[in-house]
Amino acid sequence: MAFSLPDTSNLPRYVAIAGEERIEQGSGITWDHIYPANGQVTSQLKLAGAAEVDLAVKAARAALPGWRALTGEQRRNLLLKVADLIEQKTKDLAALDTLGNGYPSMISPYTPMVMAQRFRYYAGWADKVRGETLDAWNGPAHNYVNYEPYGVIGAIIPWNGPLFAAAMVLAPALAAGNCVVIKAPELAPYSVMRLAELFEEAGFPAGVVNMVCGGPDVGEAIVASSGVDKVQFVGSGNTAKKVLQTASQTLKPCGLELGGKSAVIVFEDANLQDAAKRGMSGAVSVSGQGCVNGTRLLVQRSIYDQFLAMIQAMASHVPLGDPLQPTTVMGPLISAQSQQRVEDIIAKAKEQGARLLCGGDRPEGDFADGFYMPLTIFADVDPSSDLFQHEVFGPVLSITPFDTEEEAIALANDSDYGLGAYVHTQNLRRAHHVASKMEAGTVQVNASGEGMQPYAPFGGYKQSGYGRLGGEQGLLEFLQVKSVWMNLKPVE
């Protein structure tokens, strides 16, 4: 018997919020949202289309002068109100995330908590956007620099962490004085649809935050719109290429936060129990559907067999489960297509000689109607293999041995991606040295996710994108730089 469908009696109604307009039936396609845990339809949505994007962009442009004219203190206070509302609505937002993408109810309340932290952090920046004065050496003059908002930001976020991604973009963009048109992902739309309603409740002027729920055509319309001044895209590299192609027609700047194949290096002096637990978490956390998850483990040969035995034993205590049960650690993948793709990757890994330690087979029984795959761990993975080189976005770990520190660094950097990296060692010199050599935007030592704090910049090297979200650098992503030079020479 398949797992039951969560409560759908209080789903958000609006597929588009454009200024004061609330639209329940969009001009786009009719979409059946599927609950990943049992394959059942939760609701049928008439998605937004290009017409709703146009309305949202016009509403954002109309609201922009008034939003920019507010003081930093006024924007700060509104952002703090949103943070308070997010915390008050944690139960509702978490339930909508579980319904949207099958995230276990054990972890879904965590997202609103960290969202509120991010809005509060950037609320603190709203009244601190500052310029600077330059020493004008070429004659009596006054030269100063202002930081100004771009105008309207088009935000396209993914289904795998919609609330967190929304907060990463909305908080700094709004603090900087921009208006926003955000796309709720059709695969997991509900939590962002609800989030959009909270800005009105917090007292934001109409049109400052606009939402459209739609598919790829809606994302393309946002990027192509002449009324959008900058695009912030969070998603896959393949889609990012299409975003850049469309944006190139208007030379629109883009920030990109893309995929990863993050290496986890375990040295022989590491705390092996902690390293195994954290190393396994890359495939367990949200069923491996995280861009920065560590899923490529590199283990020093002197401890390799011991580590494999340890992580294999741990894996036996991570069963799949119903997302609605509070004890469930791992839920389903997002879709049947994702489930089949992960199955194909596992089959190819076997063909290419990787040694299967656990998992690998699609589960049956209660799980048969949902999109489940078990925690799957491969050892002896060849660095040239597809499993080592390519992102899985599923609950699959690869483990490869190494001998020396230099070899570990080379293997870790042998990737087209560079979003995250993880190092386990008790040697402080080694930790700093290896971190300095990692070709990745975020390096975490003896950790597995704690480094994603609101005050810290987050972004990638290589094909993991460019630009940063988080920290002061994240604020600057949404500000343009203007130099003003004033001639003070007397008129002759």
Would you name the residues annotated as active-site residues?
Answer: 257, 291
How do strand 230-234 and strand 152-156 relate by DSSP bridges? parallel
- Token pair in block for residue 330: 């791992």
Q: Please give the full DSSP string across 391-456, using - where no structure is assigned.
A: ---SSEEEEEEE-SHHHHHHHHH-SSEESEEEEE-S-HHHHHHHHHH--SSEEEES-SSTT--TTS
Look at residues 466, 477, 408 and name the one whose alpha carbon lies nearest to residue 441: 466
- Name the residue among 223, 256, 235, 255 with its Cα closest to residue 334: 235
Residues 387 and 229 sit within 8 Å (Cβ to Cβ): no
Q: Provide the strand spans (E) within 126-272.
A: 132-134, 141-149, 152-156, 179-185, 209-214, 230-234, 254-257, 262-266
98 Cβ contact list (under 8 Å, min separation 6): 6, 104, 105, 108, 323, 324
**Do 431 and 445 form a contact (C-beta atoms < 8 A)?**
yes
CA–CA separation, 183 vs 143, rounded Å?
Answer: 40
Tokens of 287: 């069923």
Which residues are CB-contacts of 74 (< 8 A; sequence separation ≥ 6)? none
Q: What is the rounded (10 degree) CA torsion for 128, 77, 168, 98?
A: 170
Other Cβ atoms less than 10 A from the Cβ of 60: the count is 28
- Type of residue at 336: A
Residue pair 307/266 in contact by the 8 Å Cβ criterion: yes
- Give Cβ neighbours of residue 29 (< 8 Å, ≥ 6 apart): 46, 47, 49, 215
Element holding 388 (H helix, E strand)? helix 386-389
